[in-house]
Amino acid sequence: MSITYKDAGVDIEKGDALVEKIKLKVKSTYGDRVRSGVGGFACLYEVGDRLLAAGTDGVGTKLALAKKLDKHDTIGIDLVAMCVNDILCTGAQPLFFMDYLATGKLDVDTANHVLDGIVEGCLQSECALIGGETAEMPGMYGNGEYDLAGFAVGEVKPADVLDGSRVNEGDVLIGLPSSGFHSNGYSLVRKLIKDDETALMQAALTPTKIYWKAIKGLLEKQLLNGVSHVTGGGLLNIPRINEGFAYQIVPIKTKNTDGQFGRVDTERMYKNVMEDFKWGGFDNPNVYLDENHLRMATNIRNNLSRLALALIDEGKEAKAKKVLDKSMEVLSGERVPHNYFSIFLAEGYFRIGEFELGEAILKQLAEDRIKEMDYFNSLPQHKRAAAGREPETAMAIYMEVLKMAQQYEREELMQFLEKDYEKNMRRMGFFNE
């Protein structure tokens, strides 16, 4: 039996809907010193010749485990980690941290243990704990209950910002090990642990790993092109590094029963997709897809395209076509806008001789990027900074589309792309006026 977040009392869709609803309100407060705001791992704000990176977070219902085990001296590490790990994704060095503790009735010993963890987290992050707030609110919290929130600030030089612009085709993804579940998904985790499984509870209370010292030297030597903090969204956080690229995640190799290292079982994957896969609303055109679900949908489309390419490599073109058609049926360009991942979808159609379908995908992909840049260029200068990496992303995708058109010698598509080539590149800031 499977248990979902909704079964555990967490409605992710409502949370995503709230973020979408407030985005415009939040952006209406931006001035020309906001480099990036809502939507990233952390926010960036210009101060002199530096950028401040800011992030805020809590530890969620992991606090319930701390209360149940009456162990409060590590939960503060989680609080610091969730904030600091986010600002590290910008390339920033942590500077200082502030905490907020709210409770119904203050327990001095418990609060002191919580502070021990916060101090340890700050020491691991090499940042200063410069202040905080303790709020005692009778009637708001039950006996022994409390909640935590944290706020971290770091700094980074503009030239050193990790904003996705350094990412290149062929870069290697390296996953750093976690210490466990970290501090996300505990409403679900706690539902899976039985009341008498104390050892499991203790293991689940293992504090979140703080990655500052692991990547500090790499940042100083500018050896990192991008960083993703894999938290609540899981591996879907990775494309947030730069959504203009596809990211191939290769699992650690495991041995088959015959002792040989195996490859992808395309037949099993094909059966899962065409017969067993539960689309969870993605296949219902009447279901609204918010930003988070659109990101999930494009990742599904990427995986389907790669499965189709693997089937083609094995000479199974008929099955590859069924996978490609399924992707187009469920995740059409009208419902799920085409992005970089769609290039692989087009390549699949090209390789099985369905050139018109492949060309249609690439043409739509190019047209959408041009529309994005027209919108970007219509913004006032101070609003462009908050728009993030759109110029670089659009340019990268446009060039990849042109490269594929040339590779498969699609004359009509090349003529379309090259007709106003210089004009389109100027739109994207590639040429100066």
Judge whether residue 309 has pLDDT over 80: yes
Sheet holding 146-156, edge to edge: 34-36, 43-47, 50-57, 146-156, 93-103, 128-136
Query: Span 410-417, mean pLDDT?
Result: 80
Which residues, at least 6 apart from 419, have a Cβ–Cβ distance to it below 8 Å?
none
In the chain, domain spans: 33-241, 266-427
What are the phi and psi torsion angles at 318 (to 5°)?
Answer: -65, -45
Query: Span 209-235, mean pLDDT?
Result: 88
Sequence letter at residue 295: R
What is the rounded average pLDDT for all residues in the chain? 81
Q: What pLDDT shows up at residue 261?
A: 29
Minimum mean pLDDT range among 13-27, 207-221, 341-355, 386-400: 386-400
Q: What pLDDT shows up at residue 263?
A: 44
Q: What pLDDT shows up at residue 259?
A: 34
In the three-class reduction of DSSP (H, G, I as helix; E, B as strand; rest coil), residue 35 is classed as: strand
First to last CA, the chain: 61
Judge whether residue 380 has pLDDT over 80: no
**Cα(337)–Cα(364) distance, integer angstroms:** 9
**Cα(333)–Cα(317) distance, integer angstroms:** 23
For the whole model, what pTM was predicted? 0.61
Instruction: Extract the tokens encoding 35.
Output: 């480099």
Judge whether residue 340 has pLDDT over 90: no
Query: Span 294-322, mean pLDDT?
Result: 82
Q: For the domain 33-241, what is the CATH code?
A: 3.30.1330.10
Pairing of strands 34-36, 43-47: antiparallel
- Where do we find the tokens 């956080």? 237
pLDDT-based confidence at residue 292 (cuts at 50, 70, 90): low
Higher pLDDT, 59 or 261: 59
Mean pLDDT: which of 152-161, 262-271, 343-352 is highest? 152-161
